Structure 1
Amino acid sequence: MLKILKSGFFTTVQDHGRFGFRSIGVPVSGVMDDDSSRIANQLLENQTDSAVLEITMTGPTLLFEASTYIALTGAFLSPTLNNEPIENYQVIKVNKGDILSYGKLQNGLRSYLAVKGGFKTQKVLGSYSQYYPVTMKKCLKDGESVDFEETLLFNPAISGLKIDSKATETVLKVHKGPEFELLSNEAKQKLFNTPFSISEKNNRMAYQLAELIEPHKNSILTSGTMPGTIQYTPAGRLIILMKDGQTTGGYPRILQLSSESIGVLSQKRFGDQISFELI
């Protein structure tokens, strides 16, 4: 078991998400940064969709009540094991009684913790991913425990990797959305030739951008959306839906982020700048 001594700002159990239920309004959920989660599981030779902890901005303090092996990826939050610094993208042996804690956020926003064999919680609609009210709780709280199977011996094929931080990436690659042609030529020019800033309104549901493009009076029938859909409000604001985003919406869907770019955006913080590149 993993005991949550301190939960941090927003720590959740996530896998690759739940699929097949969007028709009844259930979001995909799952890890925001697919690449980081996948690499953490690959280092431990887990199934790539094994459940991990997604740790946002401020890390938890965690007590291991059984021995295992771990890997940390994504944002770097100055982690320590028994007060000794450890690195991301390494396979690390953890003994019963060890304490993993986090310090200052150095880069990115979301970090991932994988254990050998994956975390074992209750599956709901085929997924471990926490999303209230589909699951009973939206995140982990102080004093809770998360189960995993003890591993005493593991000889990894790869003990570590050197991975560049996504925090340095600023270009989001996008496809044209269904209502792209509702944009004026001036709006299209601004969309692809100016930087945008992440507003303070950003979370697992959506990221809003601070800068506006031109207002409009276009409306559409409520239509399907998905993670990475960029909505265009009448005021000219851009809203980028993320993994817990709603399944339908009535704003024009002007662009669609690639899956890789969803991961890049998920590591951005308030004030960070991004730009769009059409593919």
Structure 2
Amino acid sequence: MLKVLKSGFFTTIQDAGRFGYLNKGVPVAGYMDSFSASKLNKLLDNKIEAAVMEITMTGPTLLFEEPTYVCLGGADISVTLNNNPIEQYRVYKIIKGDIISYGRLKKGFRNYLAIKNGFKTPMVIGSRSFYYPLTDKSHLGDQSELVYEACENYNAKISELKVDSFLDEKILHVAIGPEFELLNDRQLEQLFAKNFTVAKDYNRMAYQLEQTIEGHSHSMLTSATLPGTIQITPSGKLIVLMKDGQTTGGYPRILQLSDKAISILAQKKYGDTISFKLVRLNT
């Protein structure tokens, strides 16, 4: 059992996501930065869908009551194991009574803590990912308890990884969306020639951008959306849907983020700058 002594700002359990239910109005959910989370699961020889802890901005204090192995990565946050600093993308052995504590956020926005064999939160429609009200809570609170499998001995094939950080990357690769052709030349120029900053309204559901482009008067039927779909409102505001985003929308879907671009954006916070680069879907 793991006891969450302090929960931090918004700490959740996420796995690869909940697939096959978009037509029922159920978001994919799952880790926002799949790039970082998947690297951690590989380090621990976990299944790709193993559930990890997603830590947003301010991290938790965690007490481990059984032996195991952990590693962390993503946002650059100071973290200690029994008051000793620990590094990202490196496997650490945990014994009963060990405490991991998160400190100051240095860069990025979301950090991930992976545990050997994954966290065992309840499976709901094929996933352990938190998504309220489908799951009974939206995030962990103080004194929460989490189940994991005790692991006394694990011989890691690779004990650490050198991962190229993308926390400073500002260019998001995008493909054309279903309503891309509705954009005029001026809108296209504004979309790809200017920088945008993350507005105050951003979370696991969607990121809104501060700057606008020229608006439109197009009306359309409500249509399917995906994580990474970029919509434009009549006033020219851009809304980027994320992992907990709505499954349908009534605004033109002009662009679609690549998987890597979703991970990059997931590490941005209010005031951070991004721009768009049009590429093929498989980049």
TM-score, normalized by the shorter chain, greater than 0.5: yes
In the other structure, the counterpart of 1:147 is 147
In the other structure, the counterpart of 1:27 is 27
Say if 1:36 and 1:74, in contact at 8 Å, map to a contact too: yes
In the other structure, the counterpart of 1:198 is 198
Structure 1 unaligned segments of length 5 or more: list them: none
Give the structure-1-normalised TM-score: 0.99
The Cα of 1:215 is off from its aligned counterpart by 1.5
Alpha-carbon separation, structure 1, partners of 2:262 and 2:104: 24
Deviations 1:187-241 (A, max 9, x none): 1011011111011111000000000001111111000000000000001000000
Tell me the amino acid that sits aligned with residue 111 of structure 1: N
In the other structure, the counterpart of 1:70 is 70
In the other structure, the counterpart of 2:46 is 46
Structure having the higher strand fraction is: 2
In the other structure, the counterpart of 2:244 is 244
Structure 2 unaligned segments of length 5 or more: list them: none
The Cα of 1:3 is off from its aligned counterpart by 0.4
The number of aligned residues is 279
SS of 1:227 mapped into structure 2: coil
Alpha-carbon separation, structure 1, partners of 2:177 and 2:9: 34
SS of 2:234 mapped into structure 1: coil
In the other structure, the counterpart of 1:111 is 111
Tell me the amino acid that sits aligned with residue 230 of structure 2: I
Alpha-carbon separation, structure 2, partners of 1:12 and 1:92: 21
In the other structure, the counterpart of 1:6 is 6
Say if 1:75 and 1:165, in contact at 8 Å, map to a contact too: no
Tell me the amino acid that sits aligned with residue 253 of structure 2: R
Alpha-carbon separation, structure 1, partners of 2:232 and 2:55: 30
The Cα of 1:164 is off from its aligned counterpart by 2.5
Alpha-carbon separation, structure 2, partners of 1:94 and 1:75: 22
The Cα of 1:100 is off from its aligned counterpart by 0.3
The Cα of 1:24 is off from its aligned counterpart by 1.3
Alpha-carbon separation, structure 1, partners of 2:195 and 2:161: 32
Say if 1:40 and 1:73, in contact at 8 Å, map to a contact too: yes
SS of 1:153 mapped into structure 2: coil
Give the structure-2-normalised TM-score: 0.98
Tell me the amino acid that sits aligned with residue 117 of structure 1: N
Q: After TM superposition, where is structure 1 displaced by more than 4 Å over at least 4 residues in a row?
A: none
Tell me the amino acid that sits aligned with residue 196 of structure 1: F
Say if 1:107 and 1:165, in contact at 8 Å, map to a contact too: no
SS of 1:168 mapped into structure 2: coil
Is 239-248 or 161-170 further displaced after alignment? Answer: 161-170
Deviations 1:89-119 (A, max 9, x none): 0001111100000111011100000011111
Deviations 1:247-270 (A, max 9, x none): 000000000000110000000011
Alpha-carbon separation, structure 1, partners of 2:270 and 2:58: 15
SS of 1:178 mapped into structure 2: coil
Tell me the amino acid that sits aligned with residue 65 of structure 2: E
In the other structure, the counterpart of 1:82 is 82
Alpha-carbon separation, structure 2, partners of 1:139 and 1:6: 12
Deviations 1:50-71 (A, max 9, x none): 0000000000000000011001
The Cα of 1:165 is off from its aligned counterpart by 2.1
In the other structure, the counterpart of 1:135 is 135
Alpha-carbon separation, structure 2, partners of 1:85 and 1:76: 13
Tell me the amino acid that sits aligned with residue 41 of structure 2: N
In the other structure, the counterpart of 2:92 is 92
Alpha-carbon separation, structure 2, partners of 1:10 and 1:99: 19
In the other structure, the counterpart of 1:170 is 170
Tell me the amino acid that sits aligned with residue 159 of structure 2: S
Alpha-carbon separation, structure 1, partners of 2:76 and 2:97: 23
Question: Are 2:254 and 1:254 equivalent residues in the alignment?
Answer: yes
Say if 1:9 and 1:59, in contact at 8 Å, map to a contact too: yes
Question: Are 2:102 and 1:102 equivalent residues in the alignment?
Answer: yes
